[in-house]
Amino acid sequence: MESPTTAPTPESSPKTSYPPTCENSLSDFLGSHPHVQFIRYQWVDLSGILRARCLHKTHALKLACTDQPLRCGPITLQALADNSIMPDLPRSGVHELHPDWSSLRTLGCGRSAANATVMCSIIERLPQDENRPNSSKCPRQALSEILNLAARRWGIQFLVGFEVELVILQDNNNRKDGDPLLVPLGSGPGHYCVASMREPSFQYLEECVTELISAGVSIQDFHVEGTTGQFEIALAPLPPIQAVDELVRVHDMVKTTVKKHGYIATMVPKLPQLHQGSGEHIHISLSPTDHEDSFLAGMLHHLPGICAVTMPFAQSYERVGRLEAGERADWGTENRDVAVRKIEPGHWEIRCADATANMYLALATLLAAGLLGIKCQRPLRSSDVSLASDATVADSVDIPEELPRTFGDALQLLKASSPDLAQLLHNDILNYYVAVKQVESMRMAQLDQDQVDRLMVTFF
């Protein structure tokens, strides 16, 4: 659960803006990977679902040669987790997928060796807007703009690391009425216990890690986590966009590798058959650390609303509590009971997050809140709960706000925070995100538990 990060210096960090589309980048990649036949143009939608269109390499090369995007219908950000679409879907117009060729990566060995992926930003062109290019709803672009703003205005650079918690599930062949469709493949003791490494499921975790390392993913460690067959893979820190790109690939490769054996790897935050939830803790470090208190104060101030982005489904809120997501918008040095664990100067772990989030948007919102704290010189008034006595906490200038206990409450808090966050983060994306999630949550609530569980473990 550590995933330590060391903040970069501005001079040594990669640029966060998208590099230009380049035929040579794709040609060189294909020359080095002759088995690759197909290129997936991928994006993560506002529901946190990974989506893609697959191109044969010849067509991808043709587009790259002429610097053309891939054109699709205006549905890339409007499809919902129940497989319906937003009611206001435009009947005409186009969404362009613009590949960032620096994100081009392979997807493993075997049948997967024929596939590579490239992450895309989305530009919308609608007739009612005179077909003007509009990227204000693209989560990846939102993160890029926040990073550029941080570097340009304050000279701040970031590194980000993720902890991926997962469980391997199997069909419940002895199911009776009321029993879950899926149950954990392993159920040994947790807390780093070696005995659980003898469970059948651990061999598939090892295979996943081997595949990831072979594909160039930098992994710090993997281990037994919870008591219902839960594992964790800690990823090495990277600049934010590259970190999320890597996380998307890790999710995809882990689920694909386990599926080959007839099982399901899931990072769903909470299922009825599991005793504890799965989070996806976010490590954020910034450099320089001169304004770390104001940055932390900004994050904490908006954290209850940001939960709607970092924990975007009803199941997410079953994790709110000590040792999982925290209970309040508070912080503590090396304290895992709270929402934000401080690890070292300028380095925090955000614990109220899970794998159902669109991490491009989650990071963009968290960083915007922190930078807004710097912009407003917000003082850090809440105490370090690891050092404070009960009397000190009682006398604190600010009593930390409770984290929302339902997704509906979180959405209302996000709406309240949006005008402030819009000072740095394009307001269109938060407004549209709220609209999408309001419709989606109502439709998901109409499904029975088995339908919801199936959808969740399929996507996440």
Q: Of the CATH numbers 3.10.20.70, 3.40.50.300, 3.40.50.920, 3.30.420.40, which one belongs to the domain with range 25-135? A: 3.10.20.70
pTM: 0.92
pLDDT tens, position by position, 206-238: 999 999 999 999 999 999 998 788 999 999 999
Domain ranges of the chain: 25-135, 143-382+401-459
Name the CATH superfamily for 143-382+401-459: Glutamine synthetase/guanido kinase, catalytic domain (3.30.590.10)
Which pLDDT does position 396 carry in this prediction? 55
pLDDT tens, position by position, 345-401: 999 999 999 999 999 999 999 999 999 999 999 999 999 999 875 555 555 557 899
pLDDT score of 428 more than 60: yes
Distances (CA, A) of 304 to 103, 202, 301, 400, 439: 32, 36, 8, 10, 21
pLDDT tens, position by position, 148-186: 999 999 999 999 999 999 999 998 888 887 788 889 998
Whether 171 and 161 have beta carbons less than 8 Å apart is answered as no
Question: What proportion of the chain, given as a percentage, has pLDDT over 90?
Answer: 78
pLDDT tens, position by position, 429-448: 999 999 999 999 999 999 99
Residues 6+ apart with CB under 8 A from 184: 167, 168, 169, 170, 201, 228, 229, 273, 274
pLDDT band (50, 70, 90) for residue 12: very low
On the question of a common fold for 25-135 and 143-382+401-459, the answer reads no
pLDDT band (50, 70, 90) for residue 2: low
Whether 373 and 295 have beta carbons less than 8 Å apart is answered as yes
pLDDT tens, position by position, 14-37: 333 444 446 688 999 999 999 999
